[in-house]
Structure 1
Amino acid sequence: MGEQPIFTTRAHVFQIDPSTKKNWVPASKQAVTVSYFNDITRNSYRIISVDGSKVIINSTITPNMNFTKTSQKFGQWADSRANTVFGLGFASEQQLSKFAEKFQEVKEAAKLAREKSQDKMETSSDQSQESGSETPSGKQASSINGTDDEKISIVPDDTALKSENDRLKSIAEQSKKLEMELQALKDSNARLMDTLQEANSNAESWKSKVTQSQDENNQLRNKISELEDHCKEVNLERERNAQLSLRIQELEADLQEKEQELEDLRKQAETIPQLMAKCESVAAKLQAAETANRDLSEKMTLLQSEIDDSQQNQKNMKSELKRFMDVLDGKIDELHENNLCLS
C-alpha cells in the first residue's frame, strides 16, 4: 500500500450527527485503534481507524485542518472531504495531549509536503515556459530534418502543465471551501460549548437545591429527635400519673376507713349515754377526722387537677407531634420530587 504507521493510540470514535450538526453519534462500540499513516506514494498523511472489518476513519490531513480539545479527554477535527466532524474520547488527558501534538506535527509535515510539491510544479512550469519560447525553431527544424518522435515529444509537456495548473486551481478552491466549513464548524462548536455550559449551570443549580433539601431534611430529623425526647417525657409523665392514680386510690381507701371509723364512733356515742365523759374525746377525734377528711379531699382535688393538667399537656404534645410529622411528610415528598428531577 505504501503506507507506514507513525503513531498509534486507542480511543472511542464519534461522528457529528449529519442532521442536527450538534449531537455526537458513536462510531465504535468500544475503544479502537487509531493510527497516523504516511502514504509515501501519494506524499500525504492520513488518520485511519478500523473496527473489525469496518473502516470508521479514513481522513487525509491537510494544512488547513485543526484539532480542537473540547474537554480534558475529548478532541475533534473537521474533514470536509468526508463531509463530517470526527471526535475522539480518550482514557486519559495525557493520551489526548499526545494525539494533539502528533496531529500538529503531521499537519506541519503535510504543509511542507504541499510546499515542496508546489515548488516542483513552479519549476516544471518555468521549464515548460522556457521550452515553449524555443518551440518555433524546434518545429521548423523538425519539419526540415526532424523525425516524427521529435514532433510528438513537446505535446505531453504542455498537457501535463495544463493538468497540473487545473489541479492547483481545484486545490485552491477546495482550500477556500475548507476554510468556510472550518469556520462553520467553529461556530457550531461554540454553540455546543454554550449549551454545555448552560447544562453545567443547570446541574449546579439542581445540586444546590438538593443540598438545601438535604439540610432541611437534617433539620427535620433533629426536630423529630427532639419530639421523640418529648415523647419519652410524656411516657414518664404517664408513669407518674399512674403512680398518682394509685396514690389517690390508697387515699380513697384510707378515707373510707376513716369514714367507717367515724361512723362507728357516732354509733358508740349514741348507744352509750353513760360515756358522756368520753364524748368530748370522741368529738375531738371526730373533728380531727373531719379535718383530715377535708385535707384528704383537698389533696385529692389537687391531684385530680394535676392529672387533668398532665392529660392536657399530653394532648398538646400529640397535636404538636402530628403537625411536625405532616411537615416532615411534605418535605420528604419535595425531596423525592427533586431526586426524580435529577435522575
Structure 2
Amino acid sequence: MGEIPIYTAKAHVFVIDPVTKKSWVPASKNAIPVNFFYDSSRNTYRIIGVEDSKPVINSTVTPNMAFNKTSTKFGQWADVRANTVYGLGFSSDTLLNKFADQFEDIRERSNKLDVDSLLNQTNGIKLSENATSASMPQKEKDMLLKKEQDEELVSSASDDSRSLSNQSNSEVKYLRMSNDKLKLALAQSSSNAKKWETELQALKNTNARLTTALQESMTNVDQWHRQLSMYKEENEKYKKKCAELETGVSQTKTLSEQNAEMRNEISALRKETSEQAQQYNMLQQRVNVLAVVDAQHGELNVRYQELQKENKLLKDEITRLENAVDASEKASSKRRLEAQACLGRLADKLTDVTEITQKLQETL
C-alpha cells in the first residue's frame, strides 16, 4: 500500500558532530518540511526530511525513542539505528510543542504495534518451529540435532537409573528448560532476520520511490524556471510597448494643441480678411464714382486696374492658403507667414489705393 503521510512541520535540521559528539552540524541550508509517514506494509513509522533531492532525515520511530525540548524553539532525539542524534530548530514554540506531541503520539503507536507483534510471535512460536527448522542453516540444524540427541541420552539414562537422587532429576529438568530456551531463541532469531530483510527491502523500495519523485520534482522545477523566463521576456516586451504608446499619446496631445493654435490663427486671419474685404468694397464704390473722370485720369485708372488685379490675385492666394491650412495642419506655420506677407502686400496696395483716392479727390 506504500507510506501514508501523517503530519508535516517546517524546521531547520541539525545532526550531532560524529567526532566530538557535543556540537551541532547543520544538515539543511534552509528550513525544510519534516514529515511523519506510516508504512502499513511493515507497521512502522518514519520521520523523513528531504532538501534538494537529498535525504536529510530518515529515522524509524521506535518505542525507546524520546523527543527532548532543550529550548523554547529547539528539540532533539537519538536514533540508535542511524547512530546519530537529530536536532530541529522551529520558528516558534507553538510549532515545537505540536511536533513534540506528534512525536510522543507516534512513539506510543509504535510501542503498541511492537507489543502486538510480540504477542503474535509468542503465540505462533510452536506453530512455526517446524517451518523454522526447515529454513535453518545446516550448521544450526546440526547443533539442534546434537542437543536433541543429548536430551534423548539424558532421558534414556534417567529411565535406566530411576533410583538416582532428586538432584539428578533437577539437572535433567534444567537441561530441558535450557534446550527449550535455545529453541525459542533460535526461532526468534530466524524470525527477526526475515523481518530485518523485509524491512531492508521495503526501505530500498521506498528510497527508490523517493528518488524517482525527487527527479520528477526537479524536472518540474526546471520547466517552471523556463516558463518564468519566458514570462519575464514577454513582460519586458509589454513594458516597451506601453512606453511607446505613452510617447505616442503625448505626441498626439502636443499635435492637438498645435492644431488648436493653428485654428485660432486661421480664425483671426479670416476675420482680418473679412475686414479687408469690407474696405475693398468701399474702395470699389469710390472707384466707381471716379470712373466718370476716367478719361481725364487715364494713368491713374490704369494703375488702379492693375492694383485691382493684384488684389484679386492676393484674394486667390489667401483662399488657396486657407485651403492648404485645412488640408495640412503641419504646414500651417509656413502658410501663416505667407498669409502675413500677402496681407502686408495687400496693406501696401491699400495704402497706394488710398493715396490714389486722395489724389482723385484733390483732382475733383
Which TM-score band applies after superposition, normalised by the shorter structure? 0.5 to 0.7
Q: Does 1:303 align with 2:322?
A: yes
Matches within 5 A, 1:126-137: 136=153
* Residue in structure 2 matched with residue 108 of structure 1 by the alignment: 83
* Residue in structure 2 matched with residue 205 of structure 1 by the alignment: 226
Give, in whole Å, the separation in 2 of the partners of 1:168 and 1:98.
Answer: 25
Among 59, 82, 97, the residue aligned to 2:43 = 82
**Matched length:** 235
Instruction: Between the two structures, name the one with larger relative contact order (CA 8 Å, sep ≥ 6).
Output: 1
Q: Does 1:188 align with 2:209?
A: yes
1:35-86 deviation line (CA, Å, top 9, x unaligned): xxxxxxxxxxxxxxxxxxxxxxxxxxxxxxxxx9899624568866325654
Paired amino acid for 1:235: S
Structure 1 residues 312 and 104: CA distance shift in structure 2, 3 A: farther
Give, in whole Å, the separation in 2 of the partners of 1:132 and 1:291.
Answer: 153
* Residue in structure 2 matched with residue 73 of structure 1 by the alignment: 32
* Identical positions, percent: 7
Structure 1 residues 238 and 102: CA distance shift in structure 2, 3 A: same
1:207 is displaced (CA, Å) by 0.9
1:133 is displaced (CA, Å) by 5.5
1:253 is displaced (CA, Å) by 0.8
1:223-256 deviation line (CA, Å, top 9, x unaligned): 1122112212321331233134214313431441
The structure with more radius of gyration: 2
* Residue in structure 2 matched with residue 336 of structure 1 by the alignment: none
Matches within 5 A, 1:185-264: 185-264=206-285
Give, in whole Å, the separation in 2 of the partners of 1:108 and 1:99.
Answer: 10
Give, in whole Å, the separation in 1 of the partners of 2:179 and 2:29.
Answer: 49
Q: Does 1:266 align with 2:287?
A: yes
CA contact (8 A) 1:78 1:85 kept: yes
* Residue in structure 2 matched with residue 140 of structure 1 by the alignment: 157
Give, in whole Å, the separation in 2 of the partners of 1:186 and 1:82.
Answer: 17
List alignment gaps of at least 5 residues for structure 1.
1-17, 33-67, 91-95, 110-125, 314-343
Give, in whole Å, the separation in 2 of the partners of 1:195 and 1:258.
Answer: 94
Paired amino acid for 2:266: S
Paired amino acid for 1:292: N
Structure 1 residues 284 and 257: CA distance shift in structure 2, 3 A: farther
CA contact (8 A) 2:48 2:58 kept: no
Structure 1 residues 105 and 158: CA distance shift in structure 2, 3 A: closer
Give, in whole Å, the separation in 2 of the partners of 1:163 and 1:137.
Answer: 20
Give, in whole Å, the separation in 2 of the partners of 1:103 and 1:159.
Answer: 36
CA contact (8 A) 1:241 1:307 kept: no
CA contact (8 A) 1:75 1:87 kept: yes
CA contact (8 A) 1:78 1:84 kept: yes
Corresponding residue SS for 1:27:
strand
1:145-203 deviation line (CA, Å, top 9, x unaligned): 23243432221111111011011101111122112111211211122112211221221
Considering only aligned residues, what root-mean-square deviation do their CA atoms show, in Å? 4.4
User: Could you state the TM-score of these two structures normalised by the residue count of structure 1?
Assistant: 0.54
CA contact (8 A) 2:147 2:179 kept: no
Structure 1 residues 163 and 137: CA distance shift in structure 2, 3 A: closer
User: Could you state the TM-score of these two structures normalised by the residue count of structure 2?
Assistant: 0.52
CA contact (8 A) 1:73 1:89 kept: yes
Structure 1 residues 195 and 72: CA distance shift in structure 2, 3 A: farther
Q: Does 1:281 align with 2:300?
A: yes
Give, in whole Å, the separation in 1 of the partners of 2:269 and 2:260.
Answer: 14
Structure 1 residues 257 and 286: CA distance shift in structure 2, 3 A: farther
Give, in whole Å, the separation in 2 of the partners of 1:211 and 1:99.
Answer: 42
